[in-house]
Amino acid sequence: MINILKTRLFKGVVTRKLKAAGARVYEPAGAELKALIAKKFGRSLNIRQVDTGSCAACGSEIIACNNPVYDIARFGINFVASPRHADCLLVTGPVSKNMAPALNRTYDAMPDPKFVITLGDCAFDAGVFKGSYYVESGVKSILPVVLHIPGCPPDPETIIRSLTDFLKDGSGPFKKNCV
C-alpha cells in the first residue's frame, strides 16, 4: 500500500513513449487506414477472426496488432467476439476438415454486407500442409475471399499495410471488390 501511494505521488500516471521497430512504415499506414475506415465504414471496421487449424503464429501476430505498441484499435479496427457483430471474417489456417463446418457456420452467422480476408500462407492454398488428407485446398475453395495477406506469419506492419492498400483501391490477389 505504502509503495503504491509512493509511486502514485512521485511518478504520477505511468506512461511511456513506445516506438515500434517498424514505426516508419506502420504509423503512416495507420493514419491512412483510419481515414479510409472513417470514410468507407463510418469510423470502425469490425473483424471476426477464425482459426481453421493454423499453427497459432498468425493468431499471435493478430494479437500483437492489438498490443500497446501497434494498437490497431486506434485506427478503427476492432476484433469482435461474435460473428453477429462483424463486417469482415479474417481466416487463418489451411482449413482442417474438422473446421470446415464451423467456418461455414461462422460465415452464415454474419450479417450482410460481409467480406472474407485470409491471413498467412497456409490459408491461401494450405501452404506447407498442401496435399494432406485432412486439409481443404485453402479458404478460397470454401468462401469468397477478397484479400489475402501473405506471410508465415505476416508481421503487424504487413497486416496493416495490406489492409490499407486493399481499402484504398481494392487491390490484392483477388480482384473482385466486395466493399
Partner 1 sequence: MNYRDVLAELKTDHNISWLKAEEMYEDEVYLWVGAGDFKAAVGFMSKKLSSPVSMLFAQDRRDRSEGFAVYCAFMSAPLKKWLFVCVSINGDSPRFDSLSNVVHSASLFEREIREMFGIEPAGNADGRRLRLHEEVWPADCFPLRKDFKAPAQIHPQQLHYGFIRGEGDGIFEIPVGPVHAGIIGPGHFRFSVAGEPIINLELRLGFSHRGVEKLFEGKDSHAVRLAECVSGDSVIAHSSAFCRALEKIYKVVVPLRARYIRAICLELERMYNHAGGIGGIALDVGFSFSSALAAIIKEKIQSLNRTISGHRFLKGVLCCGGVLQDIGDDKSRVLLETLRSVERDFNELAGILNSSVSFMDRVDTTGVLKRKTAEDLGVTGVAARASGLQIDLRRDFSDIYEIARFRMPHETGGDVLARLRVRFFEFGESIRLIREFVQNLPQGGLRSAEIQAQPGFALGYAEGWRGPVLYWIETGGTGAIDRCKIVDPSFLNWQGLAYCVLGDIVPDFPVCNKSFDLSYSGNDL
Which residue reads 476484433 in cell numbers?
A: 79
Letter for the amino acid at 72? Answer: I
CB of 43 to partner 1, least distance (A): 22
d(CA 62, CA 78) in angstroms, rounded, equals: 11
Residue 118 in 3-state DSSP? strand
Is 67 or 141 the residue whose CB approaches partner 1 more closely? 67
Which residues have CB under 8 Å from 56's CB, separation 6+? none
Is 39 or 85 the residue whose CB approaches partner 1 more closely? 85
CB of 151 to partner 1, least distance (A): 10
Sheet strands side by side (includes 88-92): 77-79, 45-51, 88-92, 115-119, 145-149
Instruction: Provide DSSP, 37-103.
Output: HHHHHTT-EEEEEEESS--SHHHHHHHHHTSTTT-GGGGTEEE-SSGGG-SEEEEES--BTTTHHHH
The contact set with partner 1 (CB under 8 A) reads 3-4, 18, 20-21, 49-64, 67-70, 79, 81-83, 93-94, 96-102, 106, 122, 127-129, 131-135, 152-153, 155
Is 93 or 172 the residue whose CB approaches partner 1 more closely? 93
CB of 97 to partner 1, least distance (A): 5
CB of 160 to partner 1, least distance (A): 15
CB of 126 to partner 1, least distance (A): 8
Is 91 or 174 the residue whose CB approaches partner 1 more closely? 91
Is 69 or 179 the residue whose CB approaches partner 1 more closely? 69
